[in-house]
Amino acid sequence: MNEHIWWYLARSSGVVAWALATASVVWGMALSTRALGRQPRAPWLLDLHRFLGGLTVLFVGAHLASLMADSFVHFGVLDVLVPFRSSWKPGAVAWGIVAFYLLVAVEVTSLLRSRLSKRLWRAVHMCSYGVYVLASVHFVVAGSDAGPAARVAILASLGLVLFFLIYVAVGPGRAASVSSAAAGRTRPAVQAPASKNTA
């Protein structure tokens, strides 16, 4: 067995985790900005978003476990959980650690969504953008695989994120959101039919 197998696993799982996190954020934006229609009803659309988020957590876990199992750089438990604790590129690793904590917060509140207020859930879920940004920075400054292809992928994903932000700010997504909100305000209340007196 190659003596650096854990280091290779750490690098590959990190790249896959970034790709999954990016896909989850972009797909979530496609749903929330109504780029797929005002009310996309196919259950698999939302299920795919959740599935991507869950896979991201699994691959981040594999990334951390591989780092701790590797003897090439020597990461301990505190090194992968406490920012600036690592002796290897402490600043670069700190970006990834903070992204990990935000990811955990997003996933936990998503699992508990039915028990949380919509405002709290939405506020925490907005941290998904932080996960994407911090993970991308971590990928570039800490990853030894951040070559030209990776940078092109990051720029392409950034372009998609910016597209959806513009789409909802000034494009059709904004019009759909405004009309939906107006319809919600003007929709008449449904009254229960008067009960008949059978006495």
Residue pLDDT, tens place only, 131-186:
999 999 999 998 777 788 888 999 999 999 999 888 877 766 554 444 444 444 44
Residue 55 lies in a domain: yes
pLDDT tens for each residue of 63-89: 999 999 988 888 999 999 999 999 999
Provide the pLDDT confidence category of residue 92 given band limits of 50, 70 and 90: very high
Let me know how long the chain is.
199
| pTM listed for this prediction | 0.80
CB neighbours (10 Å) of residue 30?
Answer: 19
| Full domain range(s) for residue 152 | 5-186
Q: How many domains does the chain have?
A: 1
Asked if the structure places residue 75 within a domain, the reply is yes
Q: Give domain status of residue 120, yes or no.
A: yes
Q: What is the distance between the alpha carbons of residues 103 and 108, in angstroms, rounded to a whole number?
A: 9
Classify residue 29: in a domain, yes or no.
Answer: yes
- Say yes or no to pLDDT of 190 above 50: no
In this structure, is residue 28 part of a structural domain?
yes
Per the domain annotation, does 25 fall within a domain? yes
| Crossing angle of helices 5-32 and 148-170, rounded to 10° | 20
